[in-house]
A and B are shown apart, each in its own frame.
Chain A
Amino acid sequence: MTTFVEPPGPPPLAEGGRRPRHILLQRARRSPTLIIGAAISLTLVLVAVLAPLISPYSPDHQDLYNILSGFSSKHLFGTDELGRDELSRLIWATRTDLRVGFLAVIFPFCFGSVVGTLAGYRGGWLDTVVMRAVDVLIAFPFYVLVIALIFVVGTGTTGIYVAFAVVDWVVYARAVRSTTLVVRESDYVAAARTGGLPDSRILLRHVLPNTITQAVVYLTNDVVLVIVAVVTLGYLGLGVQPPTPDWGTMISDGQEFLTTYWALSTLPGIAVLVTGLGLSLLGDGLADVLRPQ
């Protein structure tokens, strides 16, 4: 008993059926964090998806007679040093960075969750091996490893995907493993075992559904980190390569014009900020809603 305020259970079966999903939606509607976060994230995704339609110019189109122009009716946010429309580049960069960010996080999420579940459930040598690997990888500062890997594999999106695949799975593994350790000892897993169900089925139907929420919540936070990392790598010239528009390269390119044409660096920066905020709020909101009450 964790709480002494114990109203007796809900009226017998009056609200039976489809309860978990129904309750989740109800809670979701009441969480301002989730709503705002979802709104922002959704807007960003729409911008990314609809980029070809809403972008006034092609992001590569260079108007060399019109470089470094300020805000004008023709170019809402001005042009950069090669005469490319800033607004268009911002829109297309949203597309690039969101895409790379989401893709980069898929493998770590899947691999980390699976490995974490297996390690937590089986224990023994598998657990030891996995945990030592995690310890080793976690010991290195994140960026040091990522950059080192990129030097090995090469710059560009391939490098990004590989680097994150190697480095980022560990946090998922650890989070899922600890939840698995708890779920493993629960009575309903014990009941499944006495029922004669094989481990594979128990893992799939009884353990994973109860541990995956942890990983999902972590995912929403990790996406932010990964996107920021992608931008950072772009800034360092190690990430997405030109001419593909990317907030990081935009910031880096616009650096030298900070005092004169500040929009070139600042606007991409604001875009990163808003993205980070939106996804973080979404993550927090989800964590609140998914938390077992």
Chain B
Amino acid sequence: MNPRPGPQLHEVVPPLNQFAATPARLPERERPAVPLLAAENLCVSFPAGKGQWLTAVEDVSLTVSEGETLGIVGESGCGKSTVARCLAGLLRPGSGTVSLRGELLGARRTREQHRAVQLVFQDPYSSLNPRLSVRSVLSELLVFHGLAQGEALERRCQELMALVGLPADALDGYPSSFSGGQRQRIAIARALAVEPQVVVADEPISSLDVSVQAAILALFADLRDRLGIGMVLISHNLAVVRNICDRAAVMYLGRVVEVGEREEIFTDPRHPYTRALLAAAPRLRPGPDRVEARLKGEPPSPTARPSGCAFHPRCPRAEPVCATERPELLPAPAGSSRLAACHFRDEKG
């Protein structure tokens, strides 16, 4: 897999509707020294009235390399969408940095910097401007960034449609003519129009029907392989993350509690929350009866964080130290690239 400097859209590619996602990806890959996109010590807080602050994201550091897909999993309130917005430049973090190939992205990004990181949103029914045709949406971006004009403009628009598996006459349509899956393809085309280096997808398929989810997932996989872009996939659905991501990060109440290579996380989770998520996820085929205690309680409100490790009130493994000392995100087992924020990270599941 040669990392390319940027996607090439010159070739018209056949529709991707029937394309099956590639199964398990290669575990070890060449990783350049400087990651494509890196977030370091991100902190985001919102005022919550009465002088209180709601910490949505606390001390989050993540990296994405070229051609790599990073999955971020977590339940509501964990801050994953906030992280996505920070990465895309929509939200300014209170502290911490986001850098592209080592270059710091400041509070106001330049045109080029904006192009580099694109977002695909969750709800296909509200992520497209109802008053603009598909052609207008794409042309606006292509012309603004000087990527195409005149005849080349129309050709590029058609190429984008082909890339996401839509016919060329879709360009004339307005969002109201399309189904959810088709709208999501248009949203993906919009993201790809500016030839980004990283695409951040925030729950891109959870609003779609099951049979359509598979098609969009396959589209993402194919684009990743074909264009060599980095991807960040945010999902609450562990199965999807396991299917398409190379690495995964698990978030709880604004912090990353575990991060590592995909198979490590899924076969040998080292944080009790990750184990709980895996245990709770519904499965299609009956498996061995999971006797682990069901996780009790609910995620606490971000305005009332428990002391020490935020997970300790619900944690089946908790001990007194967990309430007083917050565990750091450290390698587990020692020396590996996988990190876990638990005092008992060296214990196997």
In the complex, is A directly touching B at CB under 8 Å? yes
A binding-site residues for B, Cβ under 8 Å: 8-10, 12-13, 15-20, 23, 186-188, 190-197, 201, 205-206, 209-210, 292
Binding site for A on B (CB under 8 A): 85, 88-90, 109-111, 113-115, 117-119, 121-123, 126-133, 140-141, 144-145, 167, 169-170, 172-174, 176-180, 182, 187, 190-191, 194
Please tell me if the beta carbons of A205 and B173 are within 8 angstroms of each other in the complex.
Answer: no
The residues of B that contact A210 with a CB separation of less than 8 Å are 129-131
Bound: A201/B111 CA distance, A = 14
Which of B109, B126, B182 contacts A187 (CB under 8 A)? B126
Establish whether residues B170 and A186, one from each chain, have CB atoms under 8 Å apart when the complex forms. no
Bound form: Cα–Cα A251–B19 in Å = 77
Ranked nearest first, the 7 interchain pairs of A and B with the lowest CB-CB distance are: A9-B179, A196-B114, A16-B173, A187-B127, A17-B172, A187-B121, A188-B129
Known contacts A9-B178, A9-B180, A12-B179; is-contact A20 B130 (Cβ 8 Å):
yes
- Which of A186, A193, A196, A209 sits near B126, CB closer than 8 Å? A186
Known: A9-B179, A196-B114, A209-B131. A16 touches B170 (CB 8 A): yes
In the assembly, what is the distance between CA of A17 and CA of B170, in Å? 8
Contact yes or no, B117 A13, CB < 8 A? no
User: In the complex, A17→B135 CA distance in Å?
Assistant: 11
B177 proximity list for chain A (CB < 8 A): 9-10, 13, 15-17, 19
Determine the chain A residues whose CB is within 8 A of the CB of B191 once the complex forms.
191
Contact status A191-B127, CB under 8 Å: yes
Chain A nearest CB from B40 CB (Å) reads 21
- Report the minimum CB–CB distance from B142 to chain A (whole Å): 10
Q: How far apart sit A89 and B179, CA to CA, in the bound complex (Å)?
A: 58
B187:A12 contact, CB within 8 angstroms:
no
**Given A16-B170, A19-B174, A20-B176 in contact, is the A193-B90 Cβ separation under 8 Å?**
yes
Partner pick for A196 among B115, B123, B178, B179, CB 8 A cutoff: B115
Answer whether A20 and B179 are a contact pair too, CB < 8 Å, given A188-B126, A194-B114. no
Does A8 contact B179, Cβ atoms closer than 8 Å? yes
Q: Which of A16, A186, A191, A196 contacts B109 (CB 8 A)?
A: A196
Please, how many angstroms separate the alpha-carbon atoms of A188 and B88 in the complex? 14
User: How far apart are the CA atoms of A205 and B131 in the complex, in Å?
Assistant: 9
- Closest Cβ of chain B to A204, distance in Å, is 11
CB distance from B100 to the nearest CB of A (A): 14
Nearest A residue (CB) for B177: A16
Given known contacts A188-B129, A191-B127, A194-B114, A13 and B173 CB-to-CB distance under 8 angstroms? yes
Q: Let me know if B180 and A13 touch, CB within 8 A.
A: no
Nearest A residue to B209 by beta-carbon distance?
A8
- Nearest residue, chain A, Cβ from B133: A17
Q: Please, could you name 27 A-B residue pairs with CB atoms under 8 Å apart, sorted by A?
A: A9-B177, A9-B179, A12-B178, A12-B179, A13-B173, A13-B178, A15-B177, A16-B169, A19-B177, A186-B126, A187-B121, A187-B126, A190-B90, A191-B121, A191-B127, A191-B187, A191-B191, A192-B129, A194-B90, A195-B114, A195-B115, A195-B194, A196-B114, A196-B144, A197-B141, A197-B144, A292-B130
